[in-house]
Amino acid sequence: MSKEIKFSLVYRDMWQSSGKYVPRLDQLKRIAPVIIDMGCFSRIETNGGAFEQVNLLYGENPNEVVKEWVKPFKEAGIQTHLLERALNGIRMYPVPADVRKLMFKVKKAQGVDIARSFCGLNDHRNLELSIKYAKEAGMISQAALSITHSDIHTVEYYMGVVEKAMEYGADEICLKDMAGVGRPATLGRLVREIKAAYPDVIVQYHGHSGPGFSVASTLEVARAGADYIDVAMEPLAWGTVHPDVITIQAMLKDAGFKVPDINMKAYMQARALTQEFIDDFLGYWINPKNRYMTSLLVGCGLPGGMMGSLMADLEGVHQGINQTLTSVGKPTLSVDELLVMLFEEVQYVWPKLGYPPLVTPFSQYVKNVALVNIMFMLQGKGRFEMIDKNTWDMILGKAGTLPGPLAPEILELAKQGNKEFYSGVPQDAYPDVLDELRAEMIEKGWDTGENDEELFEYAMHDRQYVDYKSGVAKQRFEEELKNLKTKVTETTAKPSATSNNPKIKEIKSPYMGKLYYDLSLEMDPQCVKCGDSITVGQRICYLESYHNYQEIVSDFNGQLKEVFFDHGDYVDKDEVIALVEVQ
């Protein structure tokens, strides 16, 4: 009998790998029955990651959205799964243990069947609680391996993580090939090893299209015994997303596998609806370059979903870099030349920092170090002269154990800075908070919700939840959309004296987003202030966009003369964040 391969539609990831937002609840409810009518999906990825944060940014209640979105699939016998980041839960920075535990209880009560849990460092200690809490809540626990390619990320390395995950009680294993750089033959060997050690465990493959390996990888893992394949569908397939279900179904059918038929009438209807959502408003936040596949990603290993924000980063510093080059009589660089330099620097930096798998947020940390290195080297200076706090936390072990050893020069920098390495369990550094937050909600007169689901949202996304409750989030989104639709970008920054004083330079926002001065749990809104001396490459702030946190750095040496935005403010593209008096 032919082996059966089942498909999972990664509808959440399709959108979040393409742009900033996902469809609203009214749109999700329209497309759900059409997806069911396609008849080819046994599973749907419905939420997790930044999905619920996006609901809050719309002014929608995430709990109501999740319940309404998963309901028709549950009634049709289709399993649903969420994506969560272990220590980071469904946000970008660490989550206290009591909030993590509540998350699985809430999601199970809301109808979600499977918890796909991954640690960006593949530290099994971070996966242990996710597996435990998912099982206690009655969910299927799917432990995900963050797949990348290097001399140390071998089949043996990944089997070590699998063995621990199975010891903790995981029900399934997922190969999360977030950058699509896993080599097909190696992934096939890994699946064979998993199936040899654990014959009854379900294995699911998730591969992004970016560098072009994912179709071949799908065939290899299927032949090795994989049970489920994650797929997308047009018009959001390929590029930085995933292969289209039609291609994967036809390939596996030809290879002799038993695969479900696709109701093409329903497929075309779902395709048209998705395009309608894009044309309505979602397309305003989709970078056209995310439609492209590029072999440049093979070498650097950066996830395809980063390309939109990465290009915005490069465009943001491009002018400053060329000004520096011109001042010392060197030829200027195009954005493409700068991109190649960045990819090459990522390849250099990555092993020096211990080979962290390049998945959110660690891909951002490695990229940021590489970009700052380039800026300093173009000035004739050395590498690693500036490393931000979050990257240091990764280096020091606060997020988990790095897969590889740190380079001697990084260890020496830590020694010079009197930095202490953390050897404990990462979760232990973040105390419980639910009792305190519950008291805050009661004081504000807010309902903690059925099964404490509203308490969970407040605990997981406190800033966004406050804006949602006040109505500010919905108003802000509507204003943002109106501006984009009319192609009018209003400059709200205070007038500067740049035209009259050539020594005054502007630091602008390369794209719209929410501005933060610090990403730690105890944020210091005053960490950047007027009068501070700054240097080229120094971080001014972070900008949250495309569900990533990107550093905005100075292109100049000088003194901060004026800062126009507060911690947590939204900024539009090209708005002036600060003025620098150059030296």
For β-strands 558-563 and 533-534, DSSP reports them as antiparallel
Instruction: Identify the residue whose tokens are 């510093």.
Output: 317
**Which one has a higher pLDDT value, 36 or 583?**
36
User: Residue 256 above 80 pLDDT?
Assistant: yes
Q: Of the spans 161-165, 318-322, 529-533, which averages the highest pLDDT? A: 161-165
How many whole angstroms separate alpha carbon 392 and alpha carbon 97?
23
% of residues, the chain, pLDDT over 70: 92
User: In the structure, what pLDDT confidence band is assigned to residue 315 with cuts at 50, 70 and 90?
Assistant: low
pLDDT at 495: 45
pLDDT confidence of residue 277: 94
Q: How confident is the model at residue 311 (pLDDT cuts 50, 70, 90)?
A: low
* Number of Cβ within a 10 Å radius of residue 356: 25
- β partners of residue 43: 8, 79
CB 126 within 8 A of CB 426: yes
Mean pLDDT score of the chain: 89
What is the structure's pLDDT at 320?
75
pLDDT in tens, 372-408: 898 888 888 899 988 888 899 999 999 999 999 999 9
Least reliable range by pLDDT among 122-126, 150-154, 213-217, 530-534: 530-534
How much is the pLDDT for 473? 92
Q: Read off φ and ψ for residue 113, nearest 5 degrees.
A: -90, -40
Q: Residues 43, 48, 53, 59: is their CA dihedral positive or negative?
A: positive
DSSP designation for 427? G
Q: Is the pLDDT of residue 359 over 90?
A: no
Q: Which range (186-200, 201-215, 421-435, 493-507) has the least confidence?
A: 493-507
pLDDT confidence of residue 240: 85
Q: How far apart are CA 474 and CA 497, in angstroms?
A: 34
Contacts of 520 (CB under 8 A, 6+ apart): 93, 389
Q: Which helix H or strand E contains 109, and what residues bound it?
A: helix 97-109
Mean pLDDT for the stretch of residues 458-472: 94
Cβ atoms within 10 Å of 84's Cβ, excluding its own? 26
The arithmetic mean of pLDDT across residues 536-560, rounded, is: 77
The answer to whether 241 touches 14, Cβ cutoff 8 Å, is yes
Looking at residue 492, its pLDDT comes to 38
Per-residue pLDDT tens digits for 259-296:
999 999 999 999 999 999 998 999 888 877 677 777 87
Phi, psi of 152 (to 5 degrees): -95, -15
Residue 555 pLDDT class (50, 70, 90 cuts) = confident
Q: What is the pLDDT of residue 522?
A: 46
Residue 307 has pLDDT above 60, yes or no: no
> Contact at 8 Å (CB) between 146 and 157?
no
| 424 token code pair | 């404990």
| Predicted local distance difference test score (pLDDT) of residue 513 | 75
Spell out the domains of the chain, with CATH numbers in brackets: 293-423 (no CATH), 504-582 (2.40.50.100)
- Cβ 577 vs Cβ 552: under 8 Å: yes
Give pLDDT tens digits for 165-211. Answer: 999 999 999 999 998 999 999 999 999 999 999 999 999 999 999 89
Expressed in percent and rounded to 5, the helix, strand and coil fractions of the chain are 45, 15, 35
